[in-house]
């Protein structure tokens, strides 16, 4: 039995991963912001006879302090972790710059900074496992760059583009973690492509765009149950290399500029400075 933590595991693809793992006999820790969805997850776990192996931790992962609290609670309650799966994100497009109470741009905080804090903060627990792996669900290898002078995109904020920027940040996070990590943890950047999740459809307010999205889902979208299978494979048999990236089951070349090592180390240092309140 493996012990696996899933952020965003009470909804969408994260919940699909969590339920699949529970059915396979594993111990699963789900982190999510909604107490209602957390209770629903625990009830479903009980219904399949996995109630004792399911844990829900309520947390606002857009806050660094909450991520640190999750790390402390996991360290207190569990001996080790075999895998960490990052699925927590927001599908809502914010037209205006929105900051958390800690002063970070919201999408930057939730989609990147949370994953940064948890990746490095849970490293020691992962090192205790035989074959530890982190799976970061984002969109690796797509075109785009990170503005290292404005990594939160506060100066030229664009709500429609900010989520894609988060994936470029996570590309560099994977590179930095793998380069700085001399242990046995494998880091996988994974793009599930089009997945039929209710959360994404609910985030679309324009009726015409929502209708188009429904058609696209029917044509190219995968149901959650199928979309999670490559993630499960990475958990059961982590790749040999320290860092890898995939779009579904197709490997993405790490020679792309989005995985630039120098940029990754610059972003790592700038992230540390931000967390210390430095400019």
User: For residue range 10-49, what is the model confidence (pLDDT) as tens digits?
Assistant: 989 999 999 999 999 999 999 999 999 999 999 999 999 9
Cα–Cα distance between 219 and 91 in angstroms, integer?
20
Q: May I ask the CATH class of domain 3-192+228-275?
A: alpha beta
**Residue ranges per structural domain of the chain:** 3-192+228-275
Kind and range of the H or E run holding 133: strand 133-137
Q: Are strands 54-58 and 83-86 parallel, antiparallel or unpaired?
A: unpaired
pLDDT at 14: 93
Average per-residue pLDDT for the chain: 89
pLDDT at 126: 97
Please tell me which residue, 146 or 202, carries the higher pLDDT value: 146
pLDDT at 160: 76
Please choose, from the candidates 257, 267, 279, 278, the residue with its C-alpha nearest in 3D space to the C-alpha of residue 119.
267
Asked if 114 and 88 touch (Cβ cutoff 8 Å), the reply is yes
Cα–Cα distance between 194 and 206 in angstroms, integer?
19
Tokens of 159: 């709500």
* Helical segments of the chain, H only: 12-23, 35-47, 64-77, 106-107, 114-121, 123-127, 162-180, 198-203, 207-220, 224-227, 229-236, 261-275
pLDDT in tens, 72-110: 999 999 999 999 999 988 767 788 899 999 999 999 999
Mean pLDDT, residues 125-152 taken together: 93
Tokens of 274: 């931000």
pLDDT at 279: 47
Tokens of 233: 């494979």
Mean pLDDT, residues 233-262 taken together: 95
Q: Are strands 54-58 and 27-32 parallel, antiparallel or unpaired?
A: parallel
Cα–Cα distance between 217 and 244 in angstroms, integer?
27
pLDDT at 210: 45
Question: pTM to 2 decimals?
Answer: 0.90
pLDDT interval class at 221 (50, 70, 90): low
Kind and range of the H or E run holding 58: strand 54-58
Cα–Cα distance between 171 and 173 in angstroms, integer?
5
Cα–Cα distance between 270 and 206 in angstroms, integer?
37
Tokens of 171: 């590309």
């Amino acid at each position: 039995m493996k012990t696996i933590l899933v952020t965003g595991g009470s909804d969408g693809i994260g919940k699909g991963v969590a339920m699949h793992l529970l059915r396979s006999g594993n111990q699963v820790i789900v982190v999510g912001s909604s107490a209602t969805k957390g209770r629903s997850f625990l009830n479903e776990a009980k219904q399949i006879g996995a109630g004792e192996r399911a844990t829900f931790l309520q947390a606002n992962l857009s806050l660094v302090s909450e991520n640190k609290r999750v790390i402390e609670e996991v360290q207190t309650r569990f001996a080790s972790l075999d895998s960490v799966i990052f699925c927590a994100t927001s599908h809502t497009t914010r037209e205006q710059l929105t900051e958390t109470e800690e002063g970070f741009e919201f999408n930057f905080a939730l989609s990147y900074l949370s994953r940064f804090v948890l990746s490095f903060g849970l490293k020691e627990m992962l090192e205790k496992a035989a074959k530890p792996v982190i799976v970061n669900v984002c969109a690796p290898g797509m075109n785009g760059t990170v503005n290292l002078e404005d990594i939160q995109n506060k100066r030229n904020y664009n709500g429609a583009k900010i989520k894609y920027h988060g994936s470029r940040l996570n590309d560099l996070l994977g590179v930095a973690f793998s380069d700085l990590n001399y242990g046995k943890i494998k880091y996988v950047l994974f793009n599930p492509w089009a997945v039929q999740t209710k959360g994404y459809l609910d985030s679309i307010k324009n009726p015409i765009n929502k209708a188009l999205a429904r058609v696209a889902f029917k044509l190219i979208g995968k149901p959650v149950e199928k979309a999670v299978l490559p993630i499960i494979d990475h958990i059961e048999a982590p790749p040999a290399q320290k860092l890898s990236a995939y779009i579904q089951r197709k490997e993405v070349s790490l020679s792309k500029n989005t995985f630039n090592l120098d940029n990754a180390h610059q972003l790592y240092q700038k992230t540390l400075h931000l967390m210390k309140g430095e400019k």
